[in-house]
């Protein structure tokens, strides 16, 4: 029996070592799952770092520059005219343009629809997620602000030369001409150009589709999408519940090693203290190394290669790490408090349940001593 008890204790120690290292990892997975599979959290991070006018302006600058350098593209005269003007916009002017075309409420509604459509797909039986962008609000704002946008584009263009001005003087609808001079004409041609733009541009905008289905741009087969959904569901379940078997193992192992009530608290306190310490240490290291990790990972990738959004990516990653670390710190503190409390309870119970031994003064048995005689000094005592 003694051999079996020692064997169980040794097995309990090995399993508790596993618990000490596995519990912080599963708690990290639980925090990661809460961040990655929370639509509201994802929308907040995207809206702050990507889905805003600043990030859109940075990306649009890179896209327009790339389009201007594409010698194989065939552009309509109006498109070529707008591209030439957009290529001259600086960052602040891009911000003004997006404020006219896509107000913040329109951006927020589009992001809300896309993110909700993706996460709803994880819990339904559809093959493809509903990633449809309703462009009607975008088109309405662009049509309504066609003249201010055209004025902004024209303000960046150089003044027309004599030859370019002759094309305006030739008359006709300049925006429907075979070639539009890439310059800013003087009055009265400037006013005529704005008047023509207020008609032509909204017509072209309204010809665009009312819905843009991003799902079909994924070029994925139904089998691949269903496999992706299964993997995401499995990952979500593992991240959410992987800590529970570790906790059950912890509760089962304690009685294998403990031999008394104080021992139960002692065997529970030490692993909790160690696991809590590892959780706190891992959280601190994760927070301090977040920026270094992104910088190291992006070595060799130019900022232009990421459409100029490397800084938002780094900021979003750092913000995501912060969302992970905060609950981990709380969970580490809870483990430290519970572990310290368990060790304190083990110490107190051990003192209370310790068998009492008799004091040294009363350790020897009592024996009767020799009789004591006193001299009789009473003179009146009768013999």
The pLDDT tens digits of the residues spanning 221-278 come to: 889 889 999 999 999 999 999 999 999 999 999 988 888 888 899 999 999 999 999 9
Cβ contacts of 222 within 8 Å, gap of 6 or more: 127, 128
Q: Angle at CA 161, nearest 5°, toward 156 and 165?
A: 95
CA–CA gap between residue 1 and residue 342 (Å, rounded): 28
The pLDDT tens digits of the residues spanning 348-376 come to: 988 887 776 655 454 555 555 555 555 55
The pLDDT tens digits of the residues spanning 206-224 come to: 888 888 888 776 677 889 8
Distances (CA, A) of 271 to 2, 14, 230, 265, 340: 25, 11, 35, 11, 10
Q: What pLDDT score was predicted for residue 305?
A: 47
Q: Angle at CA 282, nearest 5°, toward 279 and 283?
A: 85
| For the chain, domain boundaries | 2-37+223-353, 53-219
Q: For the full predicted model, state whether its pTM sits above 0.85.
A: no
Distances (CA, A) of 258 to 2, 284, 346: 14, 33, 11
pLDDT (tens, 9 = 90+) of the chain, 383 residues, equals 677 777 888 898 999 999 999 999 999 999 999 999 999 999 998 888 888 888 888 888 888 887 777 767 677 777 777 788 888 888 898 998 888 888 888 889 999 999 999 999 999 988 889 888 888 888 888 888 888 988 888 888 888 888 878 877 765 555 555 667 788 888 888 888 888 888 888 888 888 888 888 877 667 788 988 999 999 999 999 999 999 999 999 999 998 888 888 889 999 999 999 999 999 999 999 888 877 776 666 555 554 444 455 677 777 888 888 888 999 999 999 999 999 999 999 999 888 877 766 554 545 555 555 555 555 555 555 55
Reduced to 3 states, what is the DSSP secondary structure of residue 74?
Answer: coil
Q: What pLDDT score was predicted for residue 307?
A: 46
CA–CA gap between residue 39 and residue 37 (Å, rounded): 6
Tokens 């302006």, located at residue: 57
How big, in percent rounded to 5, are the helix, strand and coil portions of the chain?
75, 0, 25
CA–CA gap between residue 266 and residue 350 (Å, rounded): 10
């Amino acid at each position: 029996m003694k051999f079996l008890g020692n064997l169980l204790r040794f097995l309990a120690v090995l399993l508790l070592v596993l618990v000490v290292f596995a519990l912080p990892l599963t708690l990290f997975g639980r925090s990661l799952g809460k961040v990655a599979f929370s639509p509201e959290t994802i929308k907040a991070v995207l809206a702050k770092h990507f889905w805003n006018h600043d990030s859109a302006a940075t990306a649009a600058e890179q896209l327009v520059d790339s389009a201007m350098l594409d010698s194989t593209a065939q552009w309509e005269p109006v498109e070529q005219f707008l591209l030439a003007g957009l290529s001259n916009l600086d960052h602040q002017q891009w911000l003004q343009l997006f404020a006219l075309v896509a107000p913040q409420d329109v951006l927020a509604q589009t992001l809300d629809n896309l993110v909700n459509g993706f996460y709803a797909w994880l819990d339904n039986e559809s093959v493809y997620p509903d990633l449809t962008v309703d462009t009607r609000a975008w088109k309405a704002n662009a049509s309504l602000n066609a003249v201010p946008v055209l004025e902004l584009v024209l303000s960046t263009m150089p003044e027309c030369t004599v030859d370019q001005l002759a094309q305006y003087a030739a008359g006709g609808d300049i925006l429907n001409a075979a070639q539009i001079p890439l310059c800013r004409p003087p009055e009265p041609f400037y006013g005529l150009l704005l008047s023509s733009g207020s008609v032509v541009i909204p017509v072209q905008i309204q010809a665009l589709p009312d819905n843009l289905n991003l799902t079909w741009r994924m070029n994925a087969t139904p089998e691949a999408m269903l496999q992706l959904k299964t993997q995401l569901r499995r990952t979500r379940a593992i991240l959410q519940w992987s800590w529970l078997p570790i906790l059950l193992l912890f509760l089962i192992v304690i009685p294998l090693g403990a031999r008394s009530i104080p021992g139960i608290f002692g065997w529970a306190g030490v692993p909790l203290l160690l696991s809590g310490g590892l959780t706190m240490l891992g959280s601190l290291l994760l927070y301090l190394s977040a920026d270094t990790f992104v910088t190291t990972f992006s070595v060799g990738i130019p900022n232009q290669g990421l459409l100029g959004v490397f800084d938002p990516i780094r900021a979003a990653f750092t913000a995501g790490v912060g969302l992970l670390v905060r609950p981990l710190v709380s969970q580490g503190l809870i483990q430290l408090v519970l572990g310290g409390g368990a060790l304190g309870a083990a110490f107190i119970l051990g003192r209370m349940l310790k068998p009492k031994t008799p004091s040294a003064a009363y350790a020897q048995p009592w024996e009767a001593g020799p009789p004591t005689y006193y001299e009789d000094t009473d003179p009146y005592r009768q013999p």
